[in-house]
A and B are shown apart, each in its own frame.
Chain A
Amino acid sequence: MEEILLSIRNITKNFGEGNVLSGVSLDVRRGEFVTLLGASGCGKTTTLRIVSGLETPDEGEVILDGRDVTALAPEDRPVNTVFQSYALFPHMNVEKNVAYGLKVRGEDKKVIAARVKDMLELVQMSDYAKRMPAQLSGGQRQRIAIARALAPQPKLLLLDEPLGALDLQLRRQMQIELKRLQKKLGITFIYITHDQEEAINMSDRIAVMRGGRFEQLGTPEEIYDRPKTRYVAQFIGRSTILEGTVRCVGNETAVIENANGWFSVSAKDALLKTGQKAEVCVRTERMRASRTPLDVFGLPATVREVRYAGGSVEIFAAMKDGTEAVATSDQPLASAPKAGETVYLHWTIGQAAVIGGASYDA
């Protein structure tokens, strides 16, 4: 068996008002949980619909299990979708909804009954077999939509913001259940969300999309710790972005300077050259603010506001050139720096990321 289950190559799609997708390529491994993450209108749903066959690409191809399926109608692809609106058939009860995919394939009645029973057990909805969709809550409908999509045993399950309509509590619970389900069944998932926390918690790999392209494709860790673009750095997590010029590059560290002073970053993963411009991303929870200058480095800034953030304190400060920075402090609110005080911003060298891992030409 091949390692790669799905491979989409150079997909372009245009609905008449500019490209929705421009040259998207992605390989998904068997059993992998891949998330397409992006703001609305970035092309993630279109990508999913092209994989399911509900949309045909203008250019490029979709290869599933070694077979080119670009021309196949959705009904002929061993791929099923969990729709954002769940799209349960309102005139069929739960059981008939789950059975539908097997029925149209002409499966034996006994096989269908057994499979429906298994599926309902899997999503813990056995007691609701005879209910109509209108009689179910949002979370319950969601489970039925998943059971219905899994019943025909697809090679690939596509999920289009399946948790979007649920409240936060239920959402967290369903995240855990979905992940557990995916591991247990070993089915490959392509998952769409605009919630970066959800993407980081659940995925093996994340593709961050923007304007019909992939900004970055990588593991959650890579995306979070080594963002390739400024957009990724800002879209995922909270951070302060510092711009500057590389002054010297050593084996371990590099020194970057801007109007506010100088600071160090790790030179290991970055291809930095002296004299070039660089952007550095420091995550809010890793940025520290000290009242006194430190031995290594510290960028002076004036505290604007201090907020309690539950367990820690967030310090909003402005540097000399106006750059806004947010730092985290473990001190209690009472002893944390006050508005108007000068603080020195610093971080552990290895924890700041040079965006793109390299210099950029300004």
Chain B
Amino acid sequence: MTHKQQKERAQERRNTLFFAPMAVLAVLLVALPLIYVLGMSLTANDGSGFTLANYKALLRADYLLVFANSLKLAFYTTAVSLLIGYPFGYCMARAPRGWKSLLMMLVIIPFWTSALVRIFGWKILLQGNGLINTVLKSLGLIDKSIKFLGSYGSVLLAMVYCMISFMILPCHSAVDKMDFTLVEASRDLGAKPWRAFLDVTLPLTLPGIMAGCVLVFVPSVGIFYLSDIMGGGLVLVGNLIRDQLLKVRDWHTGSAMSVLLVVLTAGIYLIYRRCGGDDLGVM
């Protein structure tokens, strides 16, 4: 009995020592700042103690419209990403073995490169005398340059472009994991290809689709610099918070907005987990 306890205690001490630095970091630089923001959101500007005024201040039509705009953009981004990303993930998973790892690498590399730089590339492409307008003109499809930049479409394009990897990867792994003899079995039982897809493939890859949607939707709500760069003056929650901090210098209302944003994204994530979603440890 005692040997056993001694041994286990020594082991446990070593393990704790190992993860102690990470735990300290997590408490000081993750938990503490977030609690600090929560605290700020619940205290008044003049330091007079607890108040819900900062949250009440959010109940303004223009603020609510900004939140609604952000949610709408996030929703469109998710829908378009799904429409393009799912077929891509599917084709990737069904590609010949030798090609798979190459395709994977080609998808992952832009995933990790600066969104900023990639969006800059779109700006170059879409500008008045950029490649796309030039091509369209030389094909005789248009006479005058189309003003892409600043339109809602260009912001959506930038969003989808930045987020689509989050959709492709889980969809790909869901299709890749699926046992394709099941599709063959349903074909064997007389189902047409599209019927087999609807009855077998789609339900079986639904967890991947759900994971992809959450992974795209959640960061989409919070992103702020894309619409800035693409122009057009679409105000999103991110812009609102940034301006609240750096222009209005009202940290307490800004904190309340941040808390609301975190609660919103955490809520989506929790609903997803409730519906039986997997842990999103996708990288």
Contacts and interface: CB of A to CB of B under 8 A. Distances in A.
* A/B contact in complex, CB under 8 angstroms: yes
Interface of A: 56-59, 70-71, 73
Interface-central residue, A56, A57, A58, A59, by most chain B CB under 10 Å: A56
Contacts of B7: 56, 71, 73
B1 A58 contact: yes
A56 B2 CA distance: 10
11 contacts: A56-B3, A56-B4, A56-B7, A57-B4, A58-B1, A58-B4, A59-B1, A70-B3, A71-B3, A71-B7, A73-B7
Contacts of A56: 3-4, 7
Interface string B264-277: 00000000000000
Q: How large is the interface on B (under 10, 10 to 19, 20 to 34, 35 or more residues)?
A: under 10
Contacts of A71: 3, 7
B168 to A, nearest CB: 31
Nearest to B6: A71
Interface in B1-38: 1, 3-4, 7
A71 B5 CA distance: 10
A56 B1 CA distance: 9
Interface in B24-78: none
Given A56-B4, A56-B7, A70-B3, 6 more contacts: A56-B3, A57-B4, A58-B1, A58-B4, A59-B1, A71-B7
Which 4 A-B pairs give the minimum distances between C-beta atoms? Answer: A71-B3, A56-B4, A56-B7, A70-B3
Interface of B: 1, 3-4, 7
Nearest to A59: B1
Nearest to A72: B3
Contacts of A73: 7
Contacts of B3: 56, 70-71
B7 to A, nearest CB: 6
A64 to B, nearest CB: 15
Nearest to B7: A56
Contacts of A70: 3
B14 to A, nearest CB: 13
B125 to A, nearest CB: 46
A56 B4 CA distance: 6
Contacts of A59: 1
A58 B5 CA distance: 10
Contacts of B1: 58-59
A117 B4 CA distance: 38
A190 to B, nearest CB: 22
B16 to A, nearest CB: 19
A58 B3 CA distance: 10
A70 B1 CA distance: 10
A13 to B, nearest CB: 10
Contacts of B4: 56-58
A57 B7 CA distance: 12
A56 B11 CA distance: 13
A73 to B, nearest CB: 7
A59 B1 CA distance: 7
A59 B7 CA distance: 15
A70 B4 CA distance: 9
A57 B4 CA distance: 8
A73 B3 CA distance: 10
A81 B26 CA distance: 40
A192 to B, nearest CB: 23
A26 to B, nearest CB: 20
Contacts of A57: 4
Nearest to A70: B3
B10 to A, nearest CB: 10
